[in-house]
Structure 1
């Protein structure tokens, strides 16, 4: 098992399936330019080899989240900065439907800042 697979394998269901679904949708949104790497022990998604977003777990909120690079330029009421300078996070509530459309829109917005 490679380190990326190991990261997801250590997460319990149903969170694992939700994150794997998001992973697949993020990569499929731009298969030519979005890649996934393991950085700092976390799955990072990169756009043209530059940071885009990553998954992590918030101990404070007890939820997984997706963190967006250039978050300081993103303006959405569901995004939290919590003192971060360049990133904002979107908490993923496993009890609710995944906000897939919103996530993909935010990724597209971040991609415009990377270019």
Structure 2
């Protein structure tokens, strides 16, 4: 099994389901996105650049979307922390995935490419 597939299937069931749903949502957003294992991360590339990647917060075990160029976007749900490239959008596994919110943020980020 490839590392990309292992990332998803080695997660606990609830987290795995959320991550696979996020993967589908992200790929549906833009047909030009490619999904690949890059820097040991499940990345979604646009024009050979990282558009976003999926990861899991170590403390809370909550999945999130790290949005490339996200530090340049002002949105109340984006967490910037001390990052220089990405902002995080946390996704609660026990709630509906906020697809409209994700796409609204992606629309803003796309303007930067």
- The TM-score, its normalising length taken from structure 1, stands at 0.90
Supply the distance in 2 between the matched residues of 1:62 and 1:9 (Cα, whole angstroms): 15
Aligned residues: 113
Partner residue in 2 for 1:87: 86
Partner residue in 1 for 2:77: 78
Supply the distance in 2 between the matched residues of 1:10 and 1:41 (Cα, whole angstroms): 14
Partner residue in 1 for 2:48: 49
CA contact (8 A) 1:47 1:111 kept: no
Unpaired runs of 5+ residues, structure 2, are none
Supply the distance in 2 between the matched residues of 1:83 and 1:61 (Cα, whole angstroms): 18
Unpaired runs of 5+ residues, structure 1, are none
Deviation of 1:66 after TM superposition, in Å, equals 0.6
Deviation of 1:62 after TM superposition, in Å, equals 2.9
- The TM-score, its normalising length taken from structure 2, stands at 0.91
Q: 4+ residue stretches of structure 1 with deviation over 2 A?
A: none
Deviation of 1:60 after TM superposition, in Å, equals 3.3
Deviation of 1:89 after TM superposition, in Å, equals 0.2
Where does 1:7-86 land on structure 2 (aligned, <5 Å)?
Answer: 7-31=7-31, 33-86=32-85
Deviation of 1:79 after TM superposition, in Å, equals 0.8
Supply the distance in 2 between the matched residues of 1:7 and 1:63 (Cα, whole angstroms): 15
RMSD: 1.3
